[in-house]
Structure 1
């Protein structure tokens, strides 16, 4: 059985698709599973043992380019896939599998995809509240009741040799057990804990002798600089200095991770690190970190979740009033529980 997955564009959503990959392997003993994905998520898929190979999806987010999608479909014909499972809900994401003549083309109905998909699922939003559940349900027959089994545990591989190599390349101590902070959030500022709170938590952890490293993309470099400065030298800014593959190996060696609801939060969950996930404008019901080692921290204010990119009311209480001391208390409490 040869199956092609058309993957989502977001880092977090890509990780949340892994339970689907596992379910497919459970159903097909000799499965060859390939994933069509944008280049920025390829390092994640390369760390998933369920994936045979990653095929580059050349299209930018929102790009149409019908001729190029036709050419990609013709290239995919030589792989002779039995089925394509299209995870994005857009019409254009189903075009290349259709042009490739893949016999079974599976996905959720929507956006006028009736002619492009021939194995269509109707989404049960109440029965499948989590995005990972919705992806995993695509391994079942259309019309089947929501699979009540617990989702398989997500996992990204990272060896000690890989972790040491990244630290050596970046000039970081091999024996450090840092707290890693992930202060960015691609969706917008409403998902970001204020910089001064990250800085305050870094100062508080310094009392316990715990070093703090900041991780994020090059878009988070200025954000990281501000946190490092406000931390009075207790936080090292690595934002923009690492690849995603390097970030995976740094997180794998962390003592703990404090993160906004972001792609790196899901990376930390997949690496089974003690994780403190900060939620304000978004909801842990839809995209929670899939890990028993994760603790969700939220004030649950009346206007949250609003799912806006910026606070529509201007006060940003959901994050502003979530103080560093509250997060530190949760860290100490769970440290005691583990001890």
Structure 2
């Protein structure tokens, strides 16, 4: 039986993505492509539990399974739920072997791993070349089976009213201002713009009452968040104060975001917010593969240099380019 016949016969499909928040945002277009084009199939997502706010109540997702809630992770999930096909956008050996030993008939993963023999449909995309965006690479997994082309579209997270109400209360004095989230860290997931560069780029707006800057980050980033807050008069500092549901509601109620290459930037893109992003130049970590997808954005990179280290040195970014980007994307000083 051919792979396309196996897929056509598959009713219960799993998409496995168990790494970071932004990776899940960029994997959901695959889920949407499957469900939109094959509405009779059920699509379940297997993820880490911290991704719940991205997945809950989605029209495209049948069930969610969270590997950190099972003693034996993916092995237990595959015993509990009988899947006919499973997509592995970011294959790791333990997950590939779990799919193989569970007897899933169609297992879709990269052709370029030492353990690719565990997949019986091999996708021949070298992602590190960054010919496509990560979201497109994920949709291309489906295209590699069917031979058809599908839209690559992010999925908007569903936000509960209780989160909206909390954020509305926090922003009650900023209703008429342009609300811009500043997310200065990345939780170690990216090469960050040095905080002094960010501060220098935003100093022109320190006393501008047209903007309400809102600083966010995880608790361990409190030092850099405090540094930004101290240099931006009237800014709000919510660092370490919001859970992910509340953060998503805040993004929805904002006008845009300034951030490094990190998960919340991709959430902002999924909510069609304007984004200023800071990225190195090497293709595998650049905006070509990891930039905000499908939304209005300005990307700021270091100057290109023959020396790759210098080309990816975020400290080489001119802070004036940040000032110019804010004016262009959000309005005049």
Does TM, scored on the shorter chain, surpass 0.5? yes
Query: Normalising by structure 2, what TM-score?
Result: 0.82
Does the CA contact (< 8 Å) of 1:214 and 1:224 recur in 2?
Answer: yes
In the alignment, the residues of structure 1 paired with residue 144 and residue 168 of structure 2 have an alpha-carbon distance, to the nearest angstrom, of: 46
Matched, 1:293 2:296: yes
1:42-61 maps to which residues of 2 (within 5 A)?
42-46=52-56, 48-58=58-68
Q: Structure 2: state its 5+ residue gaps.
A: 1-10
Tell me what 1:243 maps to.
Answer: 243
Matched, 1:322 2:283: no
Query: What is the CA distance between 1:136 and its match in structure 2?
Result: 0.7
Q: Which of the two has greater helix per residue?
A: 2
Deviation digits for residues 228-259 of structure 1, max 9, x if unmatched? 2233x443322221112211111111122111
Which of 11, 14, 20 is 2:24 aligned to? 14
Matched, 1:179 2:180: yes
Tell me how many residue pairs correspond in the alignment: 315
Moved over 6 A (4+): none
Does the CA contact (< 8 Å) of 1:220 and 1:239 recur in 2?
Answer: yes
CA RMSD of aligned residues (A): 3.1
Tell me what 2:328 maps to.
Answer: 333
Tell me what 2:204 maps to.
Answer: 204
Query: Normalising by structure 1, what TM-score?
Result: 0.81
Does the CA contact (< 8 Å) of 1:12 and 1:263 recur in 2?
Answer: yes
In the alignment, the residues of structure 1 paired with residue 312 and residue 106 of structure 2 have an alpha-carbon distance, to the nearest angstrom, of: 46
Tell me what 1:166 maps to.
Answer: 167
Shift in CA distance, 205/275, structure 1 to aligned 2, threshold 3 Å: same
Query: What is the CA distance between 1:119 and its match in structure 2?
Result: 1.9
Shift in CA distance, 320/237, structure 1 to aligned 2, threshold 3 Å: farther
Moved more, 51-60 or 293-302: 51-60
1:2-151 maps to which residues of 2 (within 5 A)?
2-46=12-56, 48-58=58-68, 68-69=72-73, 72-123=74-125, 128-142=131-145, 144=147, 147=149, 150-151=151-152
In the alignment, the residues of structure 2 paired with residue 19 and residue 174 of structure 1 have an alpha-carbon distance, to the nearest angstrom, of: 36
In the alignment, the residues of structure 2 paired with residue 157 and residue 296 of structure 1 have an alpha-carbon distance, to the nearest angstrom, of: 27
Shift in CA distance, 160/298, structure 1 to aligned 2, threshold 3 Å: farther
Query: What is the CA distance between 1:316 and its match in structure 2?
Result: 7.5
Does the CA contact (< 8 Å) of 1:205 and 1:211 recur in 2?
Answer: no
Query: What is the CA distance between 1:167 and its match in structure 2?
Result: 4.3
Shift in CA distance, 320/184, structure 1 to aligned 2, threshold 3 Å: same
In the alignment, the residues of structure 2 paired with residue 106 and residue 98 of structure 1 have an alpha-carbon distance, to the nearest angstrom, of: 11
